[in-house]
Amino acid sequence: MKLFLDETACRQQLRPFTYTRHVADIRIGIFTIREKWQLFTGSSPETDEQKRSSGQLIIPANIIPSQQNYKAILNAAEKRELNSGNDFRLLNYPWQIFQYNDACLREDFEWIKQSKKTEPIPAGNQCIQEKDIFIEAGAEINFSILNASTGPIYIGKNAKVMEGCMIRGPFALGEGSILKMGTRIYGATSIGPFCLAGGEIKNSVFFEYSNKAHDGYLGDSVIGAWCNLGAGTSNSNVKNTGGEVKYFLDKSDAPLLAGNKAGLLMGDYSRAAINTSFNTGTVAGVCCNIFGEIMTETHIPNFTWGRQRYELDKAIRDIRNWKQMKQQELTESEINILTGLYHSGK
Q: Please give the Cα distance from 85 to 311 (Å, whole number).
A: 46
pLDDT for the residue 73: 93
- Please state the rounded mean pLDDT for residues 137-146: 97
Q: Are 231 and 222 in contact (CB under 8 A)?
A: no
Q: Each residue of 12-23: pLDDT tens digit?
A: 999 999 999 999
158: left (phi over 0), alpha (psi -120 to 50) or beta: left
Which pTM value belongs to this model? 0.95
Q: Each residue of 287-335: pLDDT tens digit?
A: 999 998 767 889 999 999 998 999 999 999 999 999 999 999 999 999 9
| pLDDT of residue 169 exceeding 80 | yes
Question: How far, in Å, are 1, 35, 137, 138 from residue 268 at the CA level?
Answer: 33, 20, 29, 28
State the CB neighbour count (10 A cutoff) for residue 100: 18
Tell me if residue 40 falls in helix, strand or coil: helix
In sign, the C-alpha dihedral spanning 6, 9, 14, 17 is positive
Task: Supply angle C-alpha 233, 235, 236, rounded to 5.
Answer: 150
Helix (H) or strand (E) run with residue 174 in it: none
Q: Please give the Cα distance from 251 to 12 (Å, whole number).
A: 14
Helix (H) or strand (E) run with residue 153 in it: strand 153-155
Confidence tier at 123 by pLDDT (50, 70, 90) = very high
Confidence tier at 171 by pLDDT (50, 70, 90) = very high
Q: Each residue of 198-230: pLDDT tens digit?
A: 999 999 999 999 999 999 999 999 999 999 999
- Please state the rounded mean pLDDT for residues 45-61: 88
166: left (phi over 0), alpha (psi -120 to 50) or beta: beta
pLDDT for the residue 50: 81
Q: Please give the Cα distance from 155 to 167 (Å, whole number).
A: 11
- Long-range CB pairs of 290-297 (<8 Å, 24+ gap) are none
Confidence tier at 85 by pLDDT (50, 70, 90) = low
Domains of the chain: 3-92 (no CATH), 101-344 (2.160.10.10)
Q: Please give the Cα distance from 47 to 68 (Å, whole number).
A: 23
State the CB neighbour count (10 A cutoff) for residue 184: 18
- Listing DSSP states for 107-171 in one string gives HHHHHHHHHS-PPPPPTT-EEESGGGEEE-TT-EE-S-EEE-TTS-EEE-TT-EE-TT-EEESSE
Q: Are strands 27-28 and 160-161 parallel, antiparallel or unpaired?
A: unpaired
pLDDT for the residue 252: 78
Q: Please give the Cα distance from 200 to 115 (Å, whole number).
A: 32
DSSP state at residue 340 = H
pLDDT for the residue 79: 85
Confidence tier at 52 by pLDDT (50, 70, 90) = confident
User: Mean pLDDT for the chain?
Assistant: 94
- As a whole number of Å, the end-to-end CA separation of the chain is 37
pLDDT for the residue 136: 98
Q: Please give the Cα distance from 265 to 223 (Å, whole number).
A: 6
Helix (H) or strand (E) run with residue 255 in it: none
Q: Please give the Cα distance from 187 to 199 (Å, whole number).
A: 14
Q: Are strands 27-28 and 31-32 parallel, antiparallel or unpaired?
A: antiparallel
pLDDT for the residue 296: 82
Q: Which residues contact 274 (CB under 8 A, 6 or more apart)?
A: 230, 231, 232, 233
